[in-house]
Amino acid sequence: MTEDTKFHHGDATDAAPIVEMKDIEKHFGNIIALAGVSFDVKPGECHCLLGDNGAGKSTFIKTMSGVHKPTKGEIFFEGKPLHFDTPRDAMEAGIATVFQDLAMIPLMSVTRNFFMGREPTKGKGLLKRFDVEAANDICMEEMRNMGINLRGPDQAVGTLSGGERQTVAIARAVYFGAKILILDEPTSALGVRQTSNVLATIDKVRSQGVGVVFISHNVRHALAVGDRFTVLNRGKTLGTAKRGEITPEELQDLMAGGQEMAQLEGSLGGTV
């Protein structure tokens, strides 16, 4: 997918951020996983966080989504200081994470996976039961909105492509009220066509006012959908660039630069 992609990018610059992280540090004993991360996401924006392995991306995700509490720094959610005790608190507030290893049960239907743990019911008391018709209708409709026509609501998730599974997970998060969607390397294991479908899904989500955090080490995929780009290198953010302000080569250099420097310092015994 090229940069002159068909996606259009709304200007979310005037809006107040939904989530804002200021100078976040996260220490595990003497290991400093995050050493000063500042990052924010606005409604309807796709803000890409780029970094190679070991840059601190997974600690960043866990800190933003309430799994880890920051050692230092502040996180604001809709303008108020944020204190999540558990990841469930973050989910209730509207921060949803779609991980690479999707939490789905392949042999179960798309509908069952879509509603896992949140099934619509009908009847009361002892007669209360899963409303299969309502669930099927909602699932088919939501998937259609994302550009996927299922053979039927009982189609097993295991028969879907990787890109379609990502789309189920994204559609599910948005349907259940996500204001922020954190996507962890959503395109890393996909082919070109599936990647293109997932990027189109992200564009649809943004048009609904959801803020998307797109975490990746793939500069090309990030440039296809991103409005802003922040590079994470060895636990620090190296500043943020808007779309059109930075070339793919500059982004790639920023990502690689710190890693190469560290390796060079190591091999020369710190004499650089």
Instruction: Give tens-digit pLDDT for 79-124.
Output: 999 878 888 888 888 999 998 777 788 889 999 999 987 888 888 8
Most confident option among 30-34, 79-83, 115-119, 149-153: 30-34
pLDDT at 258: 53
Identify the residue with better confidence: 83 or 198.
198
Identify the residue with better confidence: 174 or 239.
174
Instruction: Give tens-digit pLDDT for 41-91.
Output: 999 999 999 988 888 999 999 999 888 999 999 999 999 998 788 888 888
Q: Residue 242, SS3? A: strand
Strands (DSSP E) along 123-170, which ranges?
A: 129-130
- Which phi and psi (to 5°) does residue 102 adopt? -60, 135
CB 134 within 8 A of CB 122: yes
In this predicted structure, which of 7-16, 73-82, 96-105, 168-177 has the lowest mean pLDDT?
Answer: 7-16
| Per-domain residue ranges of the chain | 19-103+177-267
pLDDT at 259: 53
Strands (DSSP E) along the chain, which ranges?
A: 19-28, 31-41, 46-50, 72-77, 80-81, 95-98, 121-122, 129-130, 180-184, 211-216, 228-233, 236-242
Indicate the average pLDDT of the chain: 86
CB 130 within 8 A of CB 119: yes
* CATH for the stretch 19-103+177-267: 3.40.50.300
DSSP 17: P
pLDDT at 188: 87
Confidence of residue 4 (pLDDT cuts 50, 70, 90): very low
pLDDT at 124: 86
pTM over 0.75? The answer is yes
Instruction: Give tens-digit pLDDT for 231-249.
Output: 998 899 988 999 999 899 8
As given in the structure block, the two tokens for residue 141 are 């409709």
Instruction: Give how far Cα 161 sits from Cα of 156, 165, 167, 174, 189, Å.
Output: 11, 6, 10, 20, 11
